[in-house]
Amino acid sequence: MTSYPRVRLYIGGEWRESGTEETAPVVNPATEETIGTVPLATPADLDDALEAARRGFETWRATPVATRTEILHRAADLITERAPEIGRVMTLEGGKPLKEAIGEARRTADTLRWHIEDARRAYGRTIPSAPGTILSVRREPIGPVAAFVPWNFPVGGPNRKISSALAAGCSMVIKASEETPATAAALVACYADAGLPAGVLNLVFGEPADVSARLIASPVTRLVAFTGSVPVGKLLAAAAGQVMKPALMELGGHAPVIVCADADPVEAARRAARAKFFNAGQVCTSPSRFLVHSSLHDDFAAAFVKATEEIVVGDGLDPATTMGPLANERRLAAAERLTADAVRRGATVRTGGLRPDRAGYFFAPTVLTDVPRDAQIMSEEPFAPLAPIVPFDDLDDALTVANSLPFGLAAYGFTESAATAERLSAELEAGILSINHCGGSVHEAPSGGVKESGYGREGGPEALDSYLVTKRVAHRLS
């Protein structure tokens, strides 16, 4: 068995076991073998982490910006240097192909570098006022942050929050996924080894409901930052609202792809398929409903099937693999259920549709046509390698279908018309829109949703907004 690191909590600058030494198993999704354990924090552990974050914030906010910058750049360099090992661990516990995993680690180092430099320009302003009065606006760190992140991007997800918070001058207690704990620990180790003061960053694992309830309710916590499903996001947002704490919510979606009559169907299919099956479809911005003009439908579907059948499914540690397993049994069961429901309602499986006869949480990349609009896959985020293709005749109808769900995270459009592209940009209800490609998030621009897909933004200058408070100061000179 490939070696798997020991996972511990990181609290107050020290790595430690949980107070009761209670653990949960960590499973390799490519083999279904238990490869390690993750410690589960006790209430006392969480209280220690909160107190550490309180003290850490007082230290970090008083640290000169130049010193903070130096430490964080050192952490970014360590992430880059350790990317191959971080990627290996990520593949062991999360399943994604090793090349993708290493790339994720390297990209997240660049995300940190962006936020470091952007935070140095989180300027306030002086406002013209009355004689003898200086009226100014200041931006200050909000305070200790409680953050919660899922398993699908086990280094990129945590670091989007860590990098913004620490660059802004905040401290953090982060609960990472118990399914990919060693990756999160490897990321936190880069910050610790870079010289981050004790308590500025604390890592815990545990029963999600218990951890979130204690961290959110604590008077130490000043901001709640969450990435995950819409139902869980609503629960955490409600808990934060009960104690009047702001929240940053990056929730799920069900991204439509509209392929207009003037698009190149083969090129659109090739680009869309590559995005659809990235990380086995386990991406909140993954294209997941393909609305194709009827004149292009057959060509698009044929090209999509061809691209799908070129995918090599296997263990992420195998260099030949281009798509790994699903991360857990829950996603596998969802893929089987959504496929069966679509077929029962009349859909045609063009390729895939089955679980391969092998160990691991694998599901063949699947393309469905003749999908009725009342199929569950048309309204439920699949978070799996499933691609339903539906024809349309009128762009008004396609936009109505695309906007019909309560989600609004990402959307995609393919057209050669600048006027049509502008219409898509104006009328698609999404916080992230890509035209003629299905690109992912970038650190220099904001990402976030509308409607039930959440609020607040990560990436770009807007990423710091949630982690800073705006203070007005009116200073009347004596």
Active site amino acids: 250, 284
Q: Is 25 helix (H, G, I), strand (E, B) or coil?
A: strand
DSSP 196: P
β-bridge partners, 193: none
Write the CB contacts of 96 (distance below 8 Å, at least 6 apart in sequence): 90, 104, 279, 280, 316, 324
Q: Which pairing describes strands 223-227 and 145-148: parallel, antiparallel, or unpaired?
A: parallel
- Nearest-CA neighbor of 308 among 338, 350, 354? 350
- Nearest-CA neighbor of 38 among 2, 5, 8? 8
Q: Which residue has the tokens 């959110």?
A: 216
- CA-to-CA distance for 396 and 90, rounded, in angstroms? 43
* Cα dihedral: 54, 58, 63, 68 (round 10): 20
β-bridge partners, 201: 172
β-bridge partners, 444: none
Secondary structure string (H, E, C) spanning 411-464: EEEECCCHHHHHHHHHHCCCCEEEECCCCCCCCCCCECCEECCEECCECCHHHH
Secondary structure string (H, E, C) spanning 88-144: HHHHHHHCCCHHHHHHHHHHHHHHHHHHHHHHCCCCCEEECCCCCEEEEEEEEECCC
Q: Which pairing describes strands 172-175 and 145-148: parallel, antiparallel, or unpaired?
A: parallel
Residue 126, burial from CB neighbour count under 10 angstroms (0-12, 13-18, 19+): exposed
Integer-rounded Cα Rg, in Å, for the chain is 23
Measured at the CA of 53, the angle between CA 67 and CA 184, to 5 degrees, comes to 85
- CA-to-CA distance for 287 and 98, rounded, in angstroms? 22
- CA-to-CA distance for 353 and 364, rounded, in angstroms? 6
- CA-to-CA distance for 185 and 6, rounded, in angstroms? 9
- Confirm if 456 and 249 have CB atoms less than 8 A apart: yes
Which tokens sit at 334? Answer: 């969802």
C-alpha distances in Å from residue 270, one per residue of 76, 241, 264, 276, 406: 34, 44, 10, 10, 28
